[in-house]
Amino acid sequence: MALDVYTVGLVVIGLALFGVAVLPRFAAGRAISLPIFFVAFGMVVFGLPIGLPPPDPLEQGTTTEHFAELGVIVALMGVGLKIDRVPGVRAWASTWRLLAITMPLSIAGAAALGRWLGFVIPTAILLGACIAPTDPVLASEVQVRGPGMGTEAEGVEEAAGGEDEVRFALTSEAGLNDGLAFPFTNLAIAIALVGLAPGNWLGEWLLVDVGYRIVVGVIAGVVLGSLTARAVFATEPTTPVAESVRGLEAIAGTLFVYGATELVGGYGFIAVFVAALMVRHYERSHDYNRSLHEVSEFTEQVMMALIMLFFGGAIVGGLLQPLTLEAIVAVIAIVFVVRPLAGVVGFLGFDRDPVERATIAFFGVRGIGSFYYLAYALNAAAFPDADVLWAVVGAVVLLSIVVHGITATPAVRWLEKRAE
């Protein structure tokens, strides 16, 4: 008897969601992260002869783009809602270093490896842009725990212990560099469409992609985040119906802020994170912050499980088959050399313990944001060697999930003991 694909799909998704609810109880405190489970589960179920067609991000580019996009924006709201440290030049010094120094160096390093692999210039730049963001979804083990749960709530001067700076730096980096990698993705698209001559793209790229869209993203985040905060904290839920949807404003605000910002040409990723910070710091000590964060984190975990499930299926379907020996070397170099070295350079002269700086440099987790940027760019322009590019990016994410997922918990635990 032939199995109905829809019914089988319901069973698979149901099991994945069951895993979201149950697996954290068993994985807590262990040297393994939840994404590893879901990738492995996806490889198993899509590898079984039950009629499920493996996902193909090249053939299903639009679906891949929007699915990853939704996963990222939900995660960005969750990241912003759990940061206690008030934004400031000095308090966020580690963040600015990661964004202004480490991220461009990572892009340049990965692009150089792409050229070594034989990619044309726009494809090489796209590789750099795709692997630049520290993922707000998969880096949860090394992020701050939640609103009011960090010791950095009153500023950097009162932050106790190196573990807090490590968590804060990686959390704030994940919140902002997803949006700030967009200009480099658009640069790759522009070169792919109109050629290498700067006269064809430089002015518009600097004015629109670097200037206008970033500024609009920040302004929209501040304005819409303030309006969202006022609406959220204007009243208290007192009826059973109001209690039943407690915290849902986090998802509503995410979709509203992102969509509105994109409509006026700004970077929605930046706007969502900035808006989340505005909501978080509007009523800093209000208990409702916890409800907002819990709903956002729950949605984030559901999206993570489904995307990792399909990622595992894509691997079984042949996503990594185009990898050559040189490509595997490039993948290993991106995870173990490019990001760590760029992180070390970014923190030169930074007044923190070298062990903390090295930890921040190493844990640049790659994930869903890389999938989004790659799908977005391939939907916007034709890039040679797209299958190899997907294989390299997929391998980088897979290696990051395994290596960082296994080492994150022991590393953070060791830092905590060291700080004590």
* pLDDT above 60: residue 154: no
Handedness of CA 91, 94, 97, 100 (dihedral sign): negative
Measured between alpha carbons, how far is 110 from 174 in angstroms, rounded to an integer?
Answer: 18
* pLDDT above 50: residue 89: yes
In a domain, 222, yes or no: no
In a domain, 57, yes or no: yes
* DSSP per-residue codes, 175-206: HHHHHHTHHHHHHHHHHHHH-S-GGGTHHHII
Which range among 47-56, 154-163, 390-399 shows the weakest confidence by mean pLDDT?
154-163
In a domain, 53, yes or no: yes
* pLDDT above 80: residue 147: no
Measured between alpha carbons, how far is 339 from 130 in angstroms, rounded to an integer?
Answer: 13
In a domain, 256, yes or no: no
* pLDDT above 90: residue 5: no
Query: What is residue 103's predicted lDDT score, i.e. its pLDDT?
Result: 93
Indicate the average pLDDT of the chain.
87
Measured between alpha carbons, how far is 273 from 242 in angstroms, rounded to an integer?
Answer: 26
Query: What is residue 149's predicted lDDT score, i.e. its pLDDT?
Result: 62
Query: What is residue 29's predicted lDDT score, i.e. its pLDDT?
Result: 63
Question: Residue 307 in contact with residue 368, Cβ under 8 Å?
Answer: yes
In a domain, 295, yes or no: no
Question: Residue 123 in contact with residue 385, Cβ under 8 Å?
Answer: yes
In a domain, 272, yes or no: no
Query: What is residue 249's predicted lDDT score, i.e. its pLDDT?
Result: 86
In a domain, 82, yes or no: yes
Confidence of residue 263 (pLDDT cuts 50, 70, 90): very high
Mean pLDDT calculated for residue range 391-396: 96
Give the number of other Cβ atoms within 10 Å of residue 44's Cβ.
13
Task: Pull the structure tokens for residue 177.
Answer: 């560099």
Query: What is residue 158's predicted lDDT score, i.e. its pLDDT?
Result: 41
In a domain, 277, yes or no: no
**pLDDT digits over 363-391, tens only?**
877 788 999 999 999 999 999 999 999 99
Which range among 24-28, 130-134, 298-302 shows the weakest confidence by mean pLDDT?
24-28
pTM, full prediction: 0.92
Instruction: Write a three-state SS string for 109-125.
Output: HHHHHHHHCCCCHHHHH
Mean pLDDT calculated for residue range 122-150: 78
Question: Residue 12 in contact with residue 308, Cβ under 8 Å?
Answer: no
Query: What is residue 160's predicted lDDT score, i.e. its pLDDT?
Result: 41
Query: What is residue 16's predicted lDDT score, i.e. its pLDDT?
Result: 92
* pLDDT above 50: residue 106: yes
**23 or 107: which carries more pLDDT confidence?**
107
Question: For the chain, what is the domain count?
Answer: 1
* pLDDT above 80: residue 345: yes
- Domain span holding position 30: 5-198+305-419
User: Which residue, among 126, 143, 169, 168, has the nearest Cα to 389 in the 3D structure?
Assistant: 126
Confidence of residue 137 (pLDDT cuts 50, 70, 90): low
**pLDDT digits over 195-245, tens only?**
888 878 889 999 999 999 999 999 999 999 999 999 888 877 777 877 778
* pLDDT above 90: residue 264: yes
Mean pLDDT calculated for residue range 144-163: 52
Confidence of residue 417 (pLDDT cuts 50, 70, 90): confident
CATH number of domain containing 102: 1.20.1530.20
Confidence of residue 104 (pLDDT cuts 50, 70, 90): very high
Number of H helices, E strands in the chain: 19, 0
Confidence of residue 90 (pLDDT cuts 50, 70, 90): confident
Looking at the chain, the whole-number percentage of residues with pLDDT higher than 70 is 92
Q: What is the CA 91 to chain-centroid distance, rounded?
A: 22
Question: Residue 191 in contact with residue 205, Cβ under 8 Å?
Answer: no
